[in-house]
C-alpha cells in the first residue's frame, strides 16, 4: 500500500489491523508531511491489481469540504464509505460512529412565491443524515412539518447546497433548485439555514428524449450547450441562464445541436441553465465558471 499527499508519497511498511488501521510516519518507508491547511491525501493498494481509493481533500484546496481543520481533530468516514467529516473524538475508527462530529441546522423551506413548502421530507446524504437519524431510532429522513420547518443533525464539514429532492412519498418526489446556501458546520453548532426555491423541477432529462449538457465544465470564456435533436413536436427550444440566486442572466433560442455561448463576463461560481419548450421547463443542469 502507498500513501500519497501533496508533499510526496511513501510505501506503508506495516500496520496493525486488529481493529482499524492507524498509520503514522513510523509505518512509512520514508516520512511525508501532511498539510492540514491545504492537501490531498490518497491511498493506493495493489491487491489483485491496482486499486485507487478516492482522495481526501482538506483545507483551502479545490473539491475540499473539510476546511478549518484544527489540531487534534480526526477525519472520519462512516462504515468505510460515503462522505468524510471532521471528528473531535479522541480516537479514530468505526467505534466512534458520530460522537464528536455532529452539528444542527434548522429553518424553513419556501417556494418561488415565498410560501412555505410543507408536509414533505428530504435527505442530506453528504451529511450522513440518514445513519445519524437511524442511530437515534428514526426512519432516516428529515421531516418538513406543516409549518415548513425542519431540524436535523448532520456531520461537521463545509456545505454548498442548491439542489434537493423533496419527497411526498418514496415514489413521489421532485428535484428542486434553491438559492445556494454555503456554510461550515462544526460540532455542537446550531445554525439557521433557510431554503428558498428559485426553479421548479430540474430533472436533467426531459420529455421527447431531449438531452441537455454543456462543455467545457468548468468553463472560462465560452461554453457549448449540447442537445439531442429528438424534439418530436419541432417547437423552438430556448436556453435560459441563471445565477445561484435565481436571477436570469440571458436567454436565447437554440439554433443547432451544438451552440456556443460567450460566458466571459461571468464571475467565478455556479450557474444554472434551463431548457424550455413553449414556455415550459423540460430540463436543466448546472455549470461552473472558473477564473
Residue 66 per-residue DSSP state: B
Q: Cα dist. 34→42, 69, 140, 195 in Å?
A: 11, 12, 35, 36
Domain boundaries, the chain: 2-96, 102-201, 207-289
φ, ψ of residue 156 in degrees (nearest 5): -75, 120
Residue 285 per-residue DSSP state: E
Terminal CA-CA length for the chain? 37
Shared fold status for 102-201 and 207-289:
yes
Q: What is the pTM of this model?
A: 0.69
- Give residue 99's pLDDT: 86
Q: Which of 141, 285, 134 is nearest to 205 (CA)?
A: 285
List b or e across 26-61, with b for residues whose CB sees 16 or more CB atoms inside 10 angstroms: ebbeeebeeeeeebbbebeeeeeeeeeeebbbbbeb
Mean pLDDT of 215-229: 82
- Give residue 95's pLDDT: 56
26-30, 83-87, 190-194, 211-215: range with highest mean pLDDT: 190-194
Name which CATH class applies to 102-201: mainly beta
Per residue in 200-219, pLDDT (tens digit) is 554 443 444 556 788 888 88
> 3-state DSSP call for residue 89?
coil
Q: Which of 185, 164, 159, 181 is nearest to 244 (CA)?
A: 181
Q: How many CB atoms lie within 10 A of CB 15?
A: 14
Per residue in 125-182, pLDDT (tens digit) is 999 999 899 888 888 999 999 999 999 999 999 999 988 989 998 888 888 888 889 9
Higher pLDDT, residue 231 or 274: 274
Q: Cα dist. 156→62, 126, 253, 279 in Å?
A: 18, 11, 44, 41
Helices (H), 159-253: none
Mean pLDDT of 43-63: 75
| Mean pLDDT of the residues in the chain | 84
At 247, the pLDDT band (50, 70, 90 cuts) reads confident
Q: What percent of the chain has pLDDT over 90?
A: 38
- Give residue 122's pLDDT: 96
On the question of pLDDT at 75 being above 50, the answer is yes
> 3-state DSSP call for residue 283?
strand
Per residue in 97-119, pLDDT (tens digit) is 788 999 999 999 998 888 999 99
CATH for 207-289? 2.60.40.1930
Amino acid at each position: 500500500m502507498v500513501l500519497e499527499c501533496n508533499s510526496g508519497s511513501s510505501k506503508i511498511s506495516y500496520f496493525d489491523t486488529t481493529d482499524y488501521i492507524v498509520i503514522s510516519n513510523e509505518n512509512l518507508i520514508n516520512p511525508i508531511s501532511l498539510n492540514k491547511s491545504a492537501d490531498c491525501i490518497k491511498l493506493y493498494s495493489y491487491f489483485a491489481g491496482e486499486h485507487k481509493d478516492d482522495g481526501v481533500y482538506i483545507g483551502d484546496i479545490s473539491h475540499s469540504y473539510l476546511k478549518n481543520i484544527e489540531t487534534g481533530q480526526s477525519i472520519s468516514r462512516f462504515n468505510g464509505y460515503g462522505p468524510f467529516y471532521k471528528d473531535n473524538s479522541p480516537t479514530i475508527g468505526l467505534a466512534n460512529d458520530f460522537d464528536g462530529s455532529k452539528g444542527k441546522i434548522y429553518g424553513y423551506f419556501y417556494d418561488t412565491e415565498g410560501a412555505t413548502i410543507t408536509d414533505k421530507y428530504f435527505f442530506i446524504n453528504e451529511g450522513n443524515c440518514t445513519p445519524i437519524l437511524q442511530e437515534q431510532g428514526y426512519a432516516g429522513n428529515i421531516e418538513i412539518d406543516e409549518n415548513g420547518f425542519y431540524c436535523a443533525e448532520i456531520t461537521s464539514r463545509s456545505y454548498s447546497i442548491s439542489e434537493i429532492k423533496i419527497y411526498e412519498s418514496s415514489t413521489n418526489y421532485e428535484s428542486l433548485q434553491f438559492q445556494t446556501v454555503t456554510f461550515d458546520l462544526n460540532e455542537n453548532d446550531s445554525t439557521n439555514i433557510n431554503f428558498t426555491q428559485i426553479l421548479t423541477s430540474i430533472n436533467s432529462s426531459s420529455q421527447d428524449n431531449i438531452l441537455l449538457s454543456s462543455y467545457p465544465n468548468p468553463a472560462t470564456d465560452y461554453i457549448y450547450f449540447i442537445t439531442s435533436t429528438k424534439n418530436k413536436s419541432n417547437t423552438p427550444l430556448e436556453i435560459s441562464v441563471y445565477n445561484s440566486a435565481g436571477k436570469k442572466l440571458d436567454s436565447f433560442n437554440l439554433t443547432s445541436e451544438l451552440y456556443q455561448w460567450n460566458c466571459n463576463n461571468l464571475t467565478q461560481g455556479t450557474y444554472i441553465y434551463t431548457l424550455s419548450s413553449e414556455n415550459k421547463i423540460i430540463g436543466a443542469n448546472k455549470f461552473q465558471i472558473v477564473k
